[in-house]
Amino acid sequence: MLSVGEILKKQREKLSIELNQVEKQIKVRQKFLKAIEENNWNIFTSKVYVEGIINNYSKFLELDSRKTLAFFRRDYEKQEIIKFKSRVVSRYLTPETKKIVLTLLILVFLLFIGYFGYQLKLYFSPPKITILAPKVETFKKADRVKILGKTEKDAAITIFGERIYQNESGIFEFNFPLHKGKNELVIEVIGANGRKAIIKKDYFRRE
């Protein structure tokens, strides 16, 4: 009765396929494919790895993987002990696959470093303050002007010693009294990280 290795080798030769072609298609190194064909299980780390290779190899050769795996298990059970060597799984990867895996790992590492750096920048940076309105700086005969601004929702806003509260979107309002001539608005914001930001803006009242 044929062994699983003999079945695979016979089918491969029947299809005129070289081992290097199989290696490229199923991403398993030739030395392990050859070991499978020779029923040499001692170089593998475990039975599970052998079954995985046989499954993919069978499908590539258009064989019924259930039958070839059944042959393997039969041969396996005939032997009392198969000493699988303790080896790293990466040994089964082809050089091309290793490059892909390494590239992916490097990309993940760079993404992590970038994200971590971005978070550190946010943590150590002062809060941003944006004055949304008014768009003009000069007003005629206006006693006051409504200031509309935006900052972080967790920041503490102070204008001329008065605590101003923002909504969930970080939007805040302040009725800024205008006197004749130049009026300097000073907004002080302390972020959740304790960093302080100050923005100054001049508004003018003309008679």
Q: Which of 79, 100, 121 is the last residue of a domain?
A: 100
Q: Which of 57, 78, 100 is the last residue of a domain?
A: 100
| Cα 15 from Cα 65, distance rounded (Å) | 17
Taking residues 41-55, report their average pLDDT.
86
Flag whether 117 is in a domain. Answer: no
Q: What confidence score (pLDDT) does residue 2 get?
A: 81
Reported as a single tens digit per residue, the pLDDT across 60-83 is 999 999 999 988 888 777 664 555
| Cα 154 from Cα 160, distance rounded (Å) | 20
Range of the domain at 75: 4-100
User: Does 10 share its domain with 90?
Assistant: yes
Residue with tokens 């994200």: 115
User: Does 10 share its domain with 74?
Assistant: yes
Using alpha carbons only, give the angle 99, 50, 77 rounded to the nearest 5 degrees: 170
User: Does residue 85 surpass a pLDDT of 60?
Assistant: no
